[in-house]
Structures are given as C-alpha cells and as structure tokens.
Amino acid sequence: MKMKKQIVQLIEQHGTPLFVLDHNKLRRNYRTFKKNLPRVQCYYAVKANTHPEIIKTLFLEGSSFDVASYNEFMQIYEYIKHFGEEDKDFFIWDKIIFSNTIKDKDTLSKIKRYRPLVSFDNSDELKKIKTYCDTAGLILRLKVPDTGSQVEMSSKFGAEPGDAASLISQASDAGLRVEGLSFHVGSQCTNFDNYSAALAITSEILNDARSKGYDMNIVDIGGGFPVPYDAQVPEFAKLAKLINSECQRLFPADVEIIAEPGRFLAATAATLITEIIGKSRRDGKIFYYINDGVYHTFSGVIFDHWLPNFTAFKSGEIEVCAVVGQTCDSFDKISLSIQLPVNLEIGDYLLTENIGAYSIASSTNFNGFTGAKIIHTNPSC
C-alpha cells in the first residue's frame, strides 16, 4: 500500500510513462558484486545503461568502465577527468577498457593519444591497431562456450583458442604488446559450467604465453553475471564462489582479474510506470495499449531477449492478455501472453520491474514519441 501511494504521488508529479531509477539499489548491486568477488575489479559495461547519473554513482563507488565506442569512451574519460581534478594524470587502464573487438580507423586514430587498453580477436584488427593506434595495450578476446546464456556472444566475437598463440606472436612481431586475455560467456549466463570452461581455457593460454616470455598479467572474465529476474535464476553468490576458487587455483597472484558487469548492476535498479491508453478484445483476447513500447523503454524485448513483466494496481479476474505499444507499427507488441486482470480500464497504470538494463539505452524516437521521463531516487550528491 505504501509503495502504491508513492507511485501515485510520482505519477501526479511527473505523469507517465515514468522510468524510476533507484541509486540505492544500484549501489547495493555494486557492493554485492565487490563483496562476493573481492579480487575482481569492476568495469561497468556502459552499454547496459549510459545515463550520466548511473556513471556518477558507480564512479563514486569505485567502479571502472567498459566502453564500446568513441562516444562512450569520451563520455567516461571526460567524466573521470572532471571528477578527478586532483589527479589529472590518472592511469587510464585503471578506469577504462575498450572491449569492442572491432574498431573503425577513425576511432583508433582519435583514442591513440590516450594510450588506451583495447580488445582484439583477429589479425586484421591487429594490423589496423598497428597503423592507427600503436600506443594501445592489447587484450586478446577468446571464444569460449556460451551454452544456455540469454544472449550468446561466440558467433560474433572471440578468437579460437587454437589461434591465440599465433595472434600473440603476431602482435609482438608488430611491436605491439598483448597485456592479457578476455572472454565473455554470454549475457545472463545461468550455466555456470561456461565460466569453469572459459577460465580453464584462459589459464592454459596465459600460462603458455608467459612460459614463452610474454609478460601478460590481465584476465578479463567479461560479463554475463545472472540477474535474479525470477526464482529460477541461480544465485550469484554460488557463481562467485566458483569464480573465486578457480581464479585462485588457475592464476598467480600477480594476475589482475577484471570483469565487465552491466546487466547485473543496472537491471534491478529501475522500475517503469506506464498508463493504459487503449483497450480492445481481438480474436477473443484482451489487448491493452500502453504509452510505451518496443521502440522505447521495452526495446530490450527485441534486442535483448528480455521477458517483460507487468503488475496492475487493480485486482480482478485474471486472463492471458496482450500488452502492446503506442506506435502505429504492428511490430510494436510487448507481450501477447501476460496474466492480467480483465477489468483494467483506460487510465489505469501498470508497473514493470527490473527494467534498468538495455531499455532506455536502446530507446528511439520512432513515430515522434520521446519515451519515458527519467527520475532518480537517492542519487549521488
């Protein structure tokens, strides 16, 4: 009842749709990550949610950042430079990793002056880096198992483990230095065997390279840490215990372990409030039309395989209903199988939880709709 009253007050003050970002939850998620993985430095994956207030909160918590484009790189660089005025010569590798394995030549040319830490996974990328950004430190991304992950990665990214030694040698011959290895087991990974296999593969390649005289001391275990969207998702603490044990067993103490959580930090930190703007019964099923959709805050339904959730503030007989967006595109269907009361009316509200990641970050202005208004609770000072 208290929560409903607070939501009504927010609606009266701001209208709908309304994206409510709870920075206390964001802090708790970060601290949970650090508590369970004390050896691992967190590089927040900015692509999950690029909002500047999220960056600020996580920076103040001690996070570093994983970027995938020049704009993301400069967003973080300028922010850190502004808030770290007492340390103008900060070591950029401690703050930013450019983890996109493919970078256009203009981007490489523009970031060369910063001596960045960048990922690669093929020889053509090495040649490009040598030509346009030979000041970079390199991280070789490996292809690893991603079975059972919500979003797989291995079909697009990662060098075959059997090619790793050759790529490290090619980099050295070109006068470049491979500082370490990385992998990504796929987003929302609930199959913990993926991590075990990936860590074993990475350890074997790292030990072989070091035995040949290559001074590599960074292991990036990527992202994929599972968000508790429902009770079926395995507990993060169990995964962290496995990662801690394997890292202690497989990697010497001088190896720096880093990770790129995005969804894990941002997903549960936001709630969306939408309004029913239309209602009809089509082929026997009730359709609720709301003032948001897949081109806007629900973009994760399309781009991230995210399963939406809705809670009504009115009780009544439940049926399988459809919830669809406000645009004129028939593609704009959020869900065709959501259990909701059938007595909801135009002007009623729906609540969607755990929508902080891959939502507003990939929202558009399609059809001229501008998307949800963003408000912050418990923001950083």
Q: CATH number of the domain that 48 lies in?
A: 3.20.20.10
Q: Which residues are catalytic?
A: 328
Q: Which residues are 137's β-sheet partners?
A: 117, 177
| Domain boundaries, position 61 | 24-266
Asked whether the beta carbons of 108 and 120 are under 8 A apart, the reply is no
Domain boundary among 207, 237, 266: 266
147 and 284, same structural domain?
no
* 350-380 pLDDT, tens digit each: 999 999 999 998 899 999 998 899 999 988 7
171 and 62, same structural domain?
yes
12 and 94, same structural domain?
no
d(CA 142, CA 160): 6
Q: Name the token pair of 362.
A: 């990939």
- CA angle 126/131/133 to nearest 5° reads 80
Which one-letter DSSP state was computed for residue 345? Answer: -
> H helices of 141-284, where?
164-173, 193-211, 236-250, 263-266
79 and 216, same structural domain?
yes
Domain boundary among 221, 241, 266: 266
182 and 110, same structural domain?
yes
pLDDT value, residue 195: 93
274 and 159, same structural domain?
no
317 and 176, same structural domain?
no
Contacts of 276 (CB under 8 A, 6+ apart): 288, 289, 290, 344, 345, 346, 347, 348, 349, 350
* 65-80 pLDDT, tens digit each: 999 999 999 999 988 8
242 and 103, same structural domain?
yes
Contacts of 171 (CB under 8 A, 6+ apart): 126, 138, 140, 177, 178
d(CA 58, CA 7): 26
191 and 66, same structural domain?
yes
Q: CATH no. for residue 330?
A: 2.40.37.10
d(CA 246, CA 221): 12
Q: Name the token pair of 75.
A: 């967003």
77 and 209, same structural domain?
yes
d(CA 350, CA 293): 13
The model's pTM is 0.94
pLDDT value, residue 159: 95
| pLDDT at residue 204 is higher than 70 | yes
Q: Which residue has the tokens 């970002």?
A: 21
3-state secondary structure 55-78: HHHHHHHCCEEEECCHHHHHHHHH
Asked whether the beta carbons of 99 and 66 are under 8 A apart, the reply is yes
Domain count for the chain: 2
| pLDDT at residue 155 is higher than 90 | no
Sign of CA dihedral 191, 194, 199, 204: positive
Dmax (CA) for the chain in angstroms is 71
Q: Which residue has the tokens 């010497």?
A: 252
* 101-132 pLDDT, tens digit each: 999 999 999 999 999 999 999 999 999 999 99
- CA angle 199/204/208 to nearest 5° reads 145
d(CA 313, CA 277): 15
d(CA 294, CA 161): 38
Helical packing angle, 164-173 and 123-132, nearest 10°? 20
pLDDT value, residue 5: 79
Q: Name the token pair of 117.
A: 């830490």
Q: β-strand 149-151 against 187-189: which pairing, if any? A: antiparallel
Sign of CA dihedral 67, 118, 163, 181: negative
202 and 137, same structural domain?
yes
How confident is the model over 226-254, as a mean pLDDT?
94
341 and 207, same structural domain?
no
Domain boundary among 232, 266, 300: 266
